[in-house]
Structure 1
């Protein structure tokens, strides 16, 4: 009996596979992205659904180093960078925040950066839904903040963003390869 059930399941599986391969209605989906999309909320537990109201959310793609030299090479120093991969990184603000003393109203914005060896300029820009930094326009900048770049002792394979609580808000911390920056945000 067990052999009969096993043989039946095997035949059914082969028929289903054959139908999928030969079905002209079967949609061919895109391959998995090498820089997967991710998001991080502040507060961090806002994503858990535990009745925590989010203040902000960052949606970004996470490129990996793959043994490459990143800053100063793949990502050029002193040039605008999309702050991740693929589409530009977006910051959604659910209530007003302040960055470098400038009020940022609730809304959706893009984040760009100009990396340097010891200091980065982090940019909050009004343009969203664009791919990369190719359509970046300084006229749409809300705020530009210079922040120190910290050298990490061990490299990070994937570009990552998180938030760290502070007395008057949170720091958005981003790191990749051997560089890390922290953008102070007040609310």
Structure 2
């Protein structure tokens, strides 16, 4: 009897394992941007000072939708409406240290990134509502800071949404976002 129960348990376990399937590949791949840019390669540095200099200070996690011959701004994304800055999950920024954004001191931590685009400028908002899908749960009362910047035109089409972080000047990092032919840069002051 024990052998029969053991065989039944093995058969049922095997069929359960086979029933579990992986999710299909998403069209919009997830990506990350870091400041400093080479933060993920710090383990390869032999010198401790170099490793310390490459410790990540800011990380952005986002999905990279494609243009796919669409007019992105003004059509796919309506002007004046909240945009999740990507696809799928809400785009998230992580500050490993306190920063200043939009003239406000922001505590180290995770924040959702929301942009309100217009034809000439974008307003980026940092929001405390985390782990959402898109901006469906966006609640403006949870915004902690915002900054509005002019947009510029790219010389070439940016097929996939792209985000980078770079040092614009001493203690100032720019969060650069580009898609289609539109680019905007948001200043972040390091403490």
Q: TM-score, normalised by structure 2?
A: 0.83
Aligned to 2:25: 32
Aligned to 1:170: 173
- What does 1:62-141 align with in structure 2 at a 5 Å threshold? 62-141=64-143
Q: Distance in 2 between matches of 1:107 and 1:144?
A: 16
Q: Is there any run of 5+ residues in structure 2 with no aligned partner, and where? A: 1-13, 44-50
Q: Distance in 1 between matches of 2:147 and 2:102?
A: 7
Deviations 1:63-88 (A, max 9, x none): 00111110101111110000111011
Find the partner of 2:158 among 136, 156, 159: 156
Deviations 1:34-73 (A, max 9, x none): 0011111101111113422111100000000111110101
Q: Shift of residue 33 of structure 1?
A: 0.6
Q: TM-score, normalised by structure 1?
A: 0.85
The 4+ residue runs of structure 1 with deviation greater than 6 A are: none
Aligned to 1:180: 183
> Aligned with 1:77: secondary structure?
coil
Aligned-pair RMSD on alpha carbons?
1.1
Aligned to 1:49: 42
Q: Is there any run of 5+ residues in structure 1 with no aligned partner, and where? A: 1-22
> Aligned with 1:79: secondary structure?
coil
Q: Distance in 2 between matches of 1:117 and 1:79?
A: 12
Aligned to 2:5: none
Aligned to 2:10: none
